[in-house]
Amino acid sequence: MTILPAYQDLPIDPKYPPKTAWGIWGEDDNLGTLNLLTEERVLKATQNVKKGKVFPLNWDLEKPNPPLFGRTVIDHHIRDRGNDAKKFDDVYDNFNTQTSSQWDGLRHVCHHKSNRFYNNISADHILPGPNASDRLGIHHMARRGIAGRAVLLDYGRWRSARDSNYNPLVREEVPVEDLEQVAKEQGVTFQEGDILLVRYGWMEAYEKSGGALPSENLARPDSVGIEASEKTFEWIWNHHFACVGGDVFAFEAFPVKDWDLSCHAQFLGGFGMPIGEMFYLEKLAEECAQDGVYEFLFTSAPLNKYKGVATPPNAICIK
């Protein structure tokens, strides 16, 4: 088992940019922190299955509507394959893997301070051209699969109980001290290799609003999210999470103030840590609030698209 350095001790070699995890799992690594999901940890995670209840985390492919950031609306066609109304196929046009529930893969955002992607990969490896390669493609995640122990921090429920004016549709930075408090009150303890899920309440608020967002600029909508700061980066890394996900569209507070200091740049480009966005956590959170259990077996099967950038999570939690 790899003994991971503390955040303050990154990088492992001065040739790498400060506070990056490049080279920890080898210079040829394409999985980043997913390497923490060892066979032993996956097996242990199955012990969290007590009821056999299954909670899918994929939101509707048609939501949000209209899509954010100028992404395309999925266009679904059903085709009669036999001309006798007995055999059908369906076809998706304009399918953007990041319109709805998604994993941001390691090709999505680079480590901005170095202008390189995780493990010192340049854009030339990703874009078509003579130097193109399959480095960091989403197919690496897909062919490995994602499974392990997940924990849910229901920040939205915790915050709403203390502040009747809380609005997840408005930009607000959530400090890690608040997440620590949520974990304490829920009785959650973290383990190395955990999959961290945070429910901010954004999706519930979006549904209740009928899809109307306060911000009219859908290219830069407002949202609550984790604070992008050195304190957050240290907290996330030192807990050694395998990946993170939430019910918001960026995990961090949006709009991002400085991409050089963003969670996207640090998690994806610096740590090699996938970010889950717009995970549907409502039913799971309701069950957790009822039984007081916030840990479960998590599985995800990314799309096996060679050289892909992102993917729907196809994720479920089992309690």
pLDDT at 276: 98
pLDDT at 83: 73
Angle between helices 230-238 and 176-186 (to 10 degrees): 40
Specify the pTM.
0.96
**Could you tell me the pLDDT band of residue 2, with boundaries at 50, 70 and 90?**
low
> Distances in Å between the alpha carbon of 142 and those of 18, 115, 138, 155?
29, 26, 6, 29
**Could you tell me the pLDDT band of residue 123, with boundaries at 50, 70 and 90?**
very high
> Distances in Å between the alpha carbon of 238 and those of 33, 105, 107, 192?
12, 21, 23, 9
Q: What tokens does 291 get?
A: 């039984």
pLDDT at 1: 55
Average pLDDT of the segment spanning 126-139:
95
Choose among 298, 313, 286, 280: nearest CA to 63: 280
* Domains of the chain (ranges, CATH numbers): 7-60+105-318 (3.50.30)
- Torsions phi, psi of 270, nearest 5? -85, -45
Higher pLDDT, 161 or 2: 161
Rg (alpha carbons) of the chain, rounded to whole number = 19
Could you tell me where the beta strands, DSSP code E, fall in 249-301? 275-277, 295-300
Q: What tokens does 308 get?
A: 């892909």
pLDDT at 142: 98
Residues 22 and 39: their CA atoms lie apart, in Å, by: 23
pLDDT at 212: 83
Whether 228 and 257 have beta carbons less than 8 Å apart is answered as yes
Query: Which amino acid type is present at position 98?
Result: Q
Question: Percent of the chain, pLDDT > 70?
Answer: 99
- Judged against a pLDDT cut of 60, whether residue 179 lies above it is answered with yes
Whether 280 and 57 have beta carbons less than 8 Å apart is answered as yes
- Judged against a pLDDT cut of 70, whether residue 92 lies above it is answered with yes
What's the DSSP call for residue 58? P
